[in-house]
Chains A and B, each alone.
Chain A
Amino acid sequence: MHPKRPLFIHIAASLLCAMLLSPQIQAGEAKPMAEDPIVEKRLIHISEELRCLVCQNESLASSRAELANDLREEVRKLIAKGDSDAEIKTYLVERYGDFVLYRPEVKPLTWVLWFAPFILLGLGLIGMAVYLRTRRKLPIQRHGLTADQRRQVQTILNARDNP
């Protein structure tokens, strides 16, 4: 009998319990990746309208590319500094050009882009109205059967009546 063994076992058991229980004790609510959720919300809002430059076609918000990470970090700094959304976008356009904007600005260069669909719709609806109106005035052509076709019909009908 070793007097130490029971003590050792007790200590070992306590340690084991502590190890098993500690995740529950130490674990808790997972912390958000973002340092500041309010800044983060604005970041997402702004970066959804910006393009990831190294990706093939993704917004800055969703891209996981390294440059995208860096640019998001930059935007966070600007938000913390107190810049407005427009100022932040201008900051990036100054460095990367219009291409960085995922939502194209409404300026003379993009008037066609933004307004053409609705102008087209207007034209389409007007055209439709004009078409429907003028159509009613046209005589309706009625298709008659040619003599040949009449004979063919008769042949078929005769065949049916006489199995």
Chain B
Amino acid sequence: MKKFLIPLALFFVLVVFLAIGLKRDPKEIPSPLMGRVAPAFTLPTLDPNAPAFDPQQMRGQVWMLNVWATWCVACRQEHPLLVAFSKANQLPIVGLNYKEVQAQDLQQGTQPDTAQTLAIARQKSAAWLQRFGNPYAVSVFDLDGRVGINYGVYGVPETYLIDQAGVIRYKQIGVLTPEVLTEKILPLVKALNAS
């Protein structure tokens, strides 16, 4: 009467899968951009007089792209770590300021143009970086989030490690922690610099 054991066997398989599933985070979405060239863009920087920034300018060195915004509470958490990291290492960090200007920053019933929005974004982020420290070699502004979409950004903060050829090597979803820096990012940087 082996067939009576089938339900038990199926159940056992199910439990195994569920047990493995307990160790996974269903909300974590790996990036399909790993190993691909970082998407190109041209965005204005914090300094109104400086030329626009393009990731091509970073070719030849390993660098980090950190997606942040002043309204992002979690970004505040990782910011001190970023500031310390920028001081200790020669790794340039580019800040991608994501959708800085929100509806509540705009006056009720007005439709500002891009220049005005950019001005507000620059003002807000300059003040914030002044207060909490500026780890960024360059700060760029993705006002409407379209560059973010190209990078597969779905939350803030997110951080990318990009190599000398402009290829994305690592994506951190969420807050950067000391463990992630020491265990994942720094060894990778070392390996990339050595090759």
Which residues of A are in contact with B by a Cβ distance under 8 Å? 53-54, 66-67, 70-71, 74, 93-97, 99
Q: 8 smallest A-B Cβ distances: which pairs?
A: A53-B154, A95-B152, A97-B32, A70-B145, A99-B29, A96-B152, A74-B149, A54-B154
Q: Is the CB of A96 within 8 A of B146?
A: no
Q: For residue B146, which residues in chain A have a CB less than 8 angstroms away from its CB?
A: 70, 74
Who on chain B is nearest to A67 by CB? B154
Q: What CA separation (Å) do A53 and B152 show in the bound complex? A: 10
List 9 A–B pairs whose Cβ atoms lie within 8 Å, in order of A's numbering. Answer: A54-B154, A70-B148, A95-B33, A95-B151, A95-B152, A96-B29, A96-B32, A96-B152, A97-B32
Given contacts A70-B144, A71-B149, contact A93 B154 (CB under 8 A): no
Which residue of chain A lies nearest to B152 when distances are taken between CB atoms in the complex? A95
Residues of chain B contacted by A54 (CB below 8 angstroms): 154-155
Min C-beta distance of B32 to chain A, whole Å: 4
The minimal Cβ–Cβ distance linking A117 to chain B, given in whole angstroms, is 15
Which one of B29, B144, B151 lies within 8 Å of A53 (CB-CB)?
B29
In the assembled complex, B150 has its CB within 8 A of some CB on chain A:
yes
B187 / chain A contacts, CB cutoff of 8 Å: none
CB-defined contacts of B77 to chain A, threshold 8 Å: none
Is B31 in contact with chain A by the CB < 8 A criterion?
Answer: yes
- When C-beta atoms are compared, the residue in chain B nearest to A77 turns out to be B146
Q: How far is the CB of B97 from chain A (nearest CB, A)?
A: 15
| A8 CB → nearest B CB, Å | 32
Complex Cα–Cα for A66 and B156 (A): 12
A residues less than 8 Å from B31 (CB atoms):
97
- Is the Cβ of B145 less than 8 Å from the Cβ of A93? no
Q: Which residues of B are found within 8 Å of A93, using beta-carbon distances? A: 32
Within 8 A of A (CB), among B82-130: 99
Contacts of A95 in B (CB 8 A): 32-33, 149-152
Closest residue on chain B to residue A93 by CB atoms: B32
How long is the Cα–Cα vector from A94 to B31 in the complex, in angstroms? Answer: 9
